[in-house]
């Protein structure tokens, strides 16, 4: 099963929107949802502060700022 990682921080309304969409998508396409608060890691905070939410599938970048559902679905369906 693939892992979707959502990089987020408290108080981020775009992150809340992305999380809700990911939970909705899980019902039709199972995946593990991992959420990482960038405020707990200085390197992640520097890398992602202006780009959150950032979404990866199995470590590969999928989207920034907003969930790209088409790109996520394609990545989840791919063998790679």
pLDDT, tens digit, 9 for 90 and up, residues 58-80:
999 999 999 999 999 999 988 76
pLDDT, tens digit, 9 for 90 and up, residues 37-47:
999 999 999 99
Dihedral sign (CA 60, 63, 69, 70): negative
b/e burial code for range 24-42 (CB count within 10 A of at least 16 → b): ebeeeeebeeeebebeeee
Domain ranges of the chain: 8-77
Domain range 8-77, CATH class: alpha beta
pLDDT score at 11: 93
Does the pLDDT at position 1 exceed 70?
yes
Q: What is the H or E stretch that residue 32 is in?
A: strand 32-37
């Amino acid at each position: 099963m693939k892992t979707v990682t959502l990089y987020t921080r408290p108080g981020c309304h775009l992150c809340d929107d992305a999380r809700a969409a990911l939970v909705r998508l899980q019902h039709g396409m199972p995946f593990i949802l991992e959420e990482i608060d960038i405020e707990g890691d200085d390197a992640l905070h520097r890398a992602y502060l202006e780009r959150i939410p950032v979404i990866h599938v199995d470590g590969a970048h999928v989207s920034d700022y907003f969930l790209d559902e088409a790109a996520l679905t394609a990545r989840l369906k791919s063998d790679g």
